[in-house]
Amino acid sequence: MIWPFKGGARKQIARLEVKGAIAGQTRKHVLKALKTIEEKGYPALLLRIDSPGGTVVDSHEIYSALLKLRDKVKIVASFGNISASGGVYIGMGAEHIMANPGTITGSIGVILRGNNLERLLDKVGVSFKVIKSGPYKDILAFDRELTEPERQILQDLIDSSYSQFVNIVAEGRNLEVETVKQFADGRVFTGQQALELGLVDRVGTEEDARRWAAELVGLDPEKAKCNTIEESKPFWNRLLPGSQQNTLSLPEPVLDWVDFELSTNGLPLWLYRP
């Protein structure tokens, strides 16, 4: 879409929030928002990240889109309560990063989990008959233990994804790969510790990050406004707020997390799991 009136946007800072576990819906919203930011001509983006991470591919596609946008827009990332694992990964797409001193960040690594219900199934007398085209077609099946060859296949997959993560952090923060590996072992640290490690540039609040973004593009920090790019909601949800209620009477974040857990079972994740 071509926006006929860009004057107002050029004097404002776009704000985009990445909140919660990163999966397909987050990716769709962020990519659409980044396109809008570019088309409207915002000079700067304040990227607020409050996420424990998420799926590998969705995080990488957001990171790639941010890198592309950097050719036209100054990007300052602001780490909130938690910006860990995949949250750190997408943060590498920003030119500048500010974390709150108490932010929980780090957790650089990859995790893949499966469930083994073999003993439970034996107790209730349930078994599965599997016909497969190859020995690894049912890898991570929940009714049996992993074999050693399967374990090695999955470890190689995790190692490859981990290497990608480390290289992105090293490139994004201008650090040596071996330096990153010294703290990229899954541990978490505060924003203050992240500053000392070189993972972020400054510590401060989101307001500090907004002022920084304004200064980078020559706007008055006292007057420059932030325009948050919201995720559009279906027409009926906006018209009838009650239609958003779920039949289980559970909070929406709880349902979102359950859905995320179910949909990503068996997938490699850049995710902080406390």
Catalytic residue among 51, 59, 85, 107: 85
Q: What are phi and psi of 41, to 5 degrees?
A: 85, 30
| Segments in the chain forming alpha helices (H) | 24-40, 56-69, 86-91, 118-124, 148-173, 177-183, 191-197, 206-216, 235-239, 252-263
Catalytic residue among 137, 160, 232, 263: 137
Q: Is 85 a catalytic residue?
A: yes
Q: Is 137 a catalytic residue?
A: yes
- Spatial distance between the Cα atoms of 198 and 62, rounded to a whole number of angstroms: 22
- Nearest one of 67, 4, 64, 72 to 37, comparing CA atoms: 72
Token readout for 228 is 């948050």
Displacement of CA 190 from its chain's centroid (Å):
18
Q: Residue 26 burial by CB count (10 A; 0-12/13-18/19+): exposed, middle or buried?
A: buried
> Which positions are annotated as active-site residues?
85, 137
